[in-house]
Structure 1
């Protein structure tokens, strides 16, 4: 019983470390995108994306972080995690397609890994269950 409690506590610590790290990464990159930073704009245009997409993605990142950090609403959290997964995997693929350096490809790879770890270690009260769906 004691080891199970320690295991749950360890998982919760891992969850919060990686979730806060992911959230910090998403919010900081969202701010850079919303401010239309010239380096970020150059990055987007190099990938072949229009500048206005930075604003859309920046807003989505902030809304996704809010959804993941606030209590309750497990279905919304699942959508946010899915959005982050598609966003960051798309960024990684985009960088690979245009032949960007590892230095430009690493940040979205790191955020993708953080998203996956945060999702995997999320506590039971932040997961969707059949009971959650019935109560909706």
Structure 2
């Protein structure tokens, strides 16, 4: 892995972690603004607990060494959550608020693409 790729990976991963941790905490503590926001998108209040918990656990998995299979699951989960959020904004007519979802989606894809070899699943006999 080149030094450039390693820098790109860590910048994307740190920003992804900060975004997911902050939104996860807001969702876990059910901050009123977030609760109202999610209700406006049509989601029940308990959905915040599920999302917040998985976001925080996903970041823990991404930041600890080893466990490449869990890392793939975390990246997949972030991809699904952020594409779901973007689609929810489009469907509910709040397209003006789609940017954070798309930013976290871009950071997820960038972090996944530039991840080091020891964080990838290596399949034998391809």
Q: Give the TM-score taking structure 2 as reference length.
A: 0.95
Q: Does 1:18 align with 2:1?
A: no
2:66 alignment partner in structure 1: 72
Q: CA deviation at 1:130?
A: 1.2
Structure 2: gaps of 5 or more residues: none
Instruction: Please give the secondary structure, in 2, of the residue aligned with 1:13.
Output: helix
1:9 alignment partner in structure 2: 3
1:86 alignment partner in structure 2: 80
**Mapped partners of 1:113, 1:130: distance in 2:** 26
**Mapped partners of 1:17, 1:105: distance in 2:** 22
1:104-123 correspondence to structure 2 within 5 Å: 104-123=97-116
Residue in structure 2 matching 1:27, options 10, 14, 21: 21
1:3 alignment partner in structure 2: none
Q: CA deviation at 1:105?
A: 1.0
Q: CA deviation at 1:101?
A: 3.9
Q: CA deviation at 1:123?
A: 0.6
Instruction: Please give the secondary structure, in 2, of the residue aligned with 1:130.
Output: coil
Larger radius of gyration: 1
Q: CA deviation at 1:35?
A: 1.1
For residues 47-80 of structure 1, the C-alpha deviation after alignment (integer angstroms, 9 at most, x for no partner) is 1110000011000000000011100000000000
Residue in structure 2 matching 1:61, options 55, 61, 73: 55
Deviation >4 Å, runs of 4+? none
1:39 alignment partner in structure 2: 33
Q: Give the TM-score taking structure 1 as reference length.
A: 0.89
